[in-house]
Amino acid sequence: MTSDKPLLEVVDLRVSLNRGVDVVRGVSFNVHAKKVVSIVGESGSGKSMTVRAVMGLPPPLASLSGSIKLNGEELVGASERRLRRLRGSKIGMIFQDPMTALNPVIRVGDLIAEAVRLHNPRMSAKQAMQRAIELLETVAVPQPDVRVRQYSHEFSGGMRQRVMIAMAIANNPDVLIADEPTTALDVTVQAQIIEVLSNLRQMFPVGLVLITHDLGIVAGVADTVVVMYAGKVVETGPVRAIFRGSRHPYTRGLLSCLPSIEQKAGKLVPIPGNPPSLSARPSGCPFRPRCPMARDICSTEEPELRTVDDIETACHFAEELRTFDTSAFQTTAGSA
């Protein structure tokens, strides 16, 4: 089921830090109910900055432009008061490292109950605690009535991340953003957390934004993929189309260790070279210095997103890439 109206619409979002560095340069994507949008990219690609802008929590002194619409309501330029109302009620967020994202001196139950009561001020403390216990049950934390009285340091990494999730879904938000929710966890726990997240969609019509390094997770749960590089979306489309026939050398590079999605996916292999620094971006296509098929035009013109088949791609040679051999990366890597 695809509802026609997206829950979250991001159009041409731009974020620049006070130092005059543009970290997000025109990002657009939509999130629909019960769907998972996965944002993929290396660190420094601007993906975390994008979701922080969506949460209305950009770093101090950063400036935003473009449009972020939640249920049709514009968030860019909205009052802090209004944003605070929406945060935690209509839009929730899960952080990368559950070790540092839970306040160490507040009991876990109080943390969750706080999330409930901030948006239901008339609810009694007792009711909120009852709700906290239910929420922990939802995310499959055993013995929730005991656990609410404990501190976060008494929880394992996976359990902490479940607490994080319980906190974020306390008010059944329309959109849930998960910023690399499994990166800091043990491999064995990662799948469980993804399952918890994925199952949320059966309980209420939430749209998920999943930021990750792990292409295996993307292949497993995402509906739409957004690939970011140097603050821009370089490719986006349905997950199958991207995995089957990506039209961007960067995405191809990320995928190069995945022969096909049918096989269980592995991790992201490094592409030779480093992403460009924010202050010294190369002219033309930002991926050019690392691209095995860069030509003259790539250094003069930055490619814009355009539709090729089912996919939107920002590469001058999207059409040619149908036959492009990703093994070129391995060769470059070997010679480097």
Partner 1 sequence: MASASALSAHAPARSFRLARPALVVGIGILIFWVVVALTVEFWAPYEPLKIVSRKLQPPSFSHWLGTDALGRDVLIRTFYGAQYSLTIAVIVVAASVTIGSVVGALSGFFGGWPDSILMRLVDITLSFPPVLLAMSIAASLGPGVQNTAIAIVVVWWPVYARLMRGQVLDVLSRDHIEAAVAGGASRTRLLLKHILPLSWTPTIISATMDFGQVVLLAASLSFIGLGAKPPTPEWGSMISEGAAHFYSWWIAFGPGLAILSIGLGCNFIGDTLRDMLDPKDE
Partner 2 sequence: MLTYIIRRLLAMPFLLLGVASLAFCLSHLTQADPLAALVSERQMNNPEVIAAAKERWGLDKSLPEQFVIYVTNLVSGDLGVSFRTRRPVLTDISERLPATLELVIAAMIVGTSSGILLGIVAARFRDKPIDYLARFFALFGSTIPVFWSGLLLLYILSVQFSLIPGPGRFDPRGQPPPFVTGMYTVDALIAGDFRGFLTALHYLVLPAFVLGWSVTGILARLVRASMLDVLGQDYILAARAKGAGERRTLFRHALPNAMIPTLTIIGYSFAYLITGAVLTESVFAWPGIGSYAVDSARTLDYPAIIGVSLVGASAFLLSNLVTDVTYAFANPRIKLS
Enumerate binding residues for partner 2 (CB under 8 A): 55, 57, 84-89, 92-93, 95-97, 100-106, 114-115, 118-119, 151, 153, 164, 167-168, 170
Which residue, 83 or 241, is less far from partner 2 as judged by CB?
Answer: 83
With CB under 5 to 8 Å by kind, the binding choice for 85 among partner 2, partner 1, none is partner 2
With CB under 5 to 8 Å by kind, the binding choice for 279 among partner 1, partner 2, none is partner 1
* DSSP symbol at 120: -
Rounded to whole angstroms, the Cα distance separating 61 from 50 reads: 15
Give percent helix, percent strand, percent coil of the chain, each to the nearest 5. 35, 20, 45
Binding interface with partner 1 (CB under 8 A): 18-21, 279
CB of 64 to partner 1, least distance (A): 17
With CB under 5 to 8 Å by kind, the binding choice for 103 among partner 1, partner 2, none is partner 2
Which residue, 17 or 241, is less far from partner 1 as judged by CB?
Answer: 17
CB of 101 to partner 2, least distance (A): 4
Which residue, 19 or 153, is less far from partner 1 as judged by CB?
Answer: 19
With CB under 5 to 8 Å by kind, the binding choice for 42 among partner 2, partner 1, none is none
CB of 204 to partner 2, least distance (A): 18
CB of 273 to partner 1, least distance (A): 24
Rounded to whole angstroms, the Cα distance separating 207 from 30 reads: 10
Rounded to whole angstroms, the Cα distance separating 283 from 286 reads: 7
Which residue, 62 or 254, is less far from partner 1 as judged by CB?
Answer: 62
As given in the structure block, the two tokens for residue 41 are 């990219």
CB of 118 to partner 2, least distance (A): 5
Angle CA 91–237–196, to nearest 5: 45
Which residue, 19 or 295, is less far from partner 1 as judged by CB?
Answer: 19
- In terms of DSSP H, where are the helices of 208-280? 215-221, 239-245, 249-255
Determine contact, residues 40/225, Cβ cutoff 8 Å. yes
CA distances from 306 to 144, 151, 233, 288, 316 (A): 50, 50, 11, 18, 10
With CB under 5 to 8 Å by kind, the binding choice for 18 among partner 1, partner 2, none is partner 1
Q: Buried b / exposed e across 225-251, counting CB within 10 Å, b at 16+? A: bbbbbbbbbbbbbebebbbeebbbbbb
CB of 278 to partner 1, least distance (A): 11
Rounded to whole angstroms, the Cα distance separating 136 from 159 reads: 10
Which residue, 119 or 201, is less far from partner 2 as judged by CB?
Answer: 119
| Chain centroid, CA 216 distance in Å | 14
Residue 92 falls in which region: left (phi positive, over 0), alpha (psi -120 to 50) or beta: beta
CB of 86 to partner 2, least distance (A): 8
Which residue, 208 or 271, is less far from partner 2 as judged by CB?
Answer: 208
